Structure 1
Amino acid sequence: MPAQTIRRATEADAVDLLPVFVEGFLDGPIADWLIEDRDERRIIYERYFRLMLRQGLANGWVDTTAGLNGAAIWYRRPAAAAGPPPGYQDDMAYATGRHLARFRLIDAMFEEHRPRIEHIYLAFIAVAPGHRGKGVGTALLAHAHAELDEVGLPAYLEASNADNMRLYKRLGWEASPPLFLPKAGPPFWRMWRSQPDPTAADVTP
């Protein structure tokens, strides 16, 4: 299996990466909870992930492969809550339409339970359907792990299903007991990647 080349995505990559995220998150327990109708979900997700990519490129960073067949959106999060960037709430309302309330519920629950120390946050990671099982996601994470080790900061994510949670555990992340989304929602797992030296150089990867 050839090695994956990982690089920083640019705004020019957003058009090609959008379907990677839409297809990567179109099915699953949280997707079913957010938007019951799959056809409508695809329409909403196209607007939603266009916004998520824009936010990631502007306020965090996006890693991708040379072939644009996988990508991950990362942020550096301070210990204290910083609040959403200007215009985010209006953009979310447009992107999610009549489903805004549930998207706000999940945002609020994730914010409530996030770590209260400085960390690197993996917001989304997705692999194009035809490239799953070929090490793309693992390569994206391995690249990020190397950068995290240089920076000396811990990392955090929410795993949306048990299979993903077990994959992250195999790659060195620790899982907390599951939490459940409101309104009889599905579980998710808070996952933490510790760093042995939190006083290392303060440089954004």
Structure 2
Amino acid sequence: MTITNNDLLVRLATEADAGPLIGVLAEAFHQGPLADWLIPDPADRRTVYYRYFKDTFYHGLAYGQVYTTSDQTAVAIWYPRLEPAPTDTRNRLEALEHIAGAYAPKFVLLEEMFDAFHPDDPHHHLAYLAVDPTRQNRGIGAALLADHHRRLDQLGLPAYLEASNMRNRRLYLRLGYTAGPTIVLPTDGPIIWRMWRGAPTTSGGRTSFPRTRPRRRSL
């Protein structure tokens, strides 16, 4: 556990944090161009997002690293990707059909695009960073990231993420990420900014954004 940002306590999340943190994820991502594209109806979006982020939270606990703050107002879900990760495509399609119903095709498309353009170089993937909307712009998200960034620098590993709006893109640029080639979602979808925080180098710089060749997925 680490103290950052004027005594903000960052700790690993557990199943006991599920209720508050699923709510933080669903609320933090409820607005924005990606949310509007995935589910145009705000009422439907609230229902589907709760199911989606419930699945996301428990998946993070099982296969990744989930961090929160002492007051449960923020959450970060990281996945160590030290080698290319296989995807259980058929089971994931079934899960998304159950979670998103009529909106499943766009969720499937989004996840397939993210997977196809994911770097192969060893790294940690920041899948989600969410701060309670009533507590945003107070440095909480930056403090949550700084805690993990220190660990990555000690390990000599880079970080990768996908930013879905310009506000988040600017935040990550300030925190030492560089922007790589974008993903443009079809059917009038928004632009996704792929971002990379390189590993420290002996010269004092950081490794550059890796080359990525789109991968094909098949059932």
TM normalised by structure 1 equals: 0.91
Looking at structure 2, the residues matched to 55 and 100 of structure 1 have their Cα atoms a distance apart, in angstroms, of 18
1:148 and 2:177 matched:
no
1:113 and 2:95 matched:
no
Contact 1:79–1:115 (Cα < 8 Å) also in 2: no
Looking at structure 1, the residues matched to 85 and 70 of structure 2 have their Cα atoms a distance apart, in angstroms, of 34
The residue identity in structure 2 corresponding to 1:123 is A
1:7-54 per-position Cα deviation (integer Å, ceiling 9, x unaligned): 000011011111100100000000000000000000000000000001
Partner of 1:202: none
Partner of 1:35: 39
Q: Secondary structure at the match of 2:8?
A: coil
Unaligned runs of 5+ residues in structure 1 are 199-205
Looking at structure 2, the residues matched to 163 and 177 of structure 1 have their Cα atoms a distance apart, in angstroms, of 18
1:85 is displaced (CA, Å) by 8.6
Looking at structure 2, the residues matched to 39 and 115 of structure 1 have their Cα atoms a distance apart, in angstroms, of 35
The residue identity in structure 1 corresponding to 2:164 is S
**Aligned residue pair count:** 198
Q: 1:128 to 1:94 in 2, by over 3 A?
A: same
Q: CA RMSD in A?
A: 1.8
Q: Secondary structure at the match of 1:64?
A: strand
Partner of 2:217: none
1:87 is displaced (CA, Å) by 4.4
Looking at structure 2, the residues matched to 34 and 162 of structure 1 have their Cα atoms a distance apart, in angstroms, of 18
Taking every aligned residue pair, what percent have the same amino acid on both sides?
Answer: 44
Looking at structure 2, the residues matched to 87 and 152 of structure 1 have their Cα atoms a distance apart, in angstroms, of 34
Looking at structure 2, the residues matched to 40 and 186 of structure 1 have their Cα atoms a distance apart, in angstroms, of 20
Looking at structure 2, the residues matched to 86 and 157 of structure 1 have their Cα atoms a distance apart, in angstroms, of 24
TM normalised by structure 2 equals: 0.86
1:11 and 2:15 matched:
yes
Correspondences of 1:55-74 after superposition (within 5 Å): 55-74=59-78
Q: 1:56 to 1:164 in 2, by over 3 A?
A: same
Unaligned runs of 5+ residues in structure 2 are 203-219
Contact 2:93–2:108 (Cα < 8 Å) also in 1: no
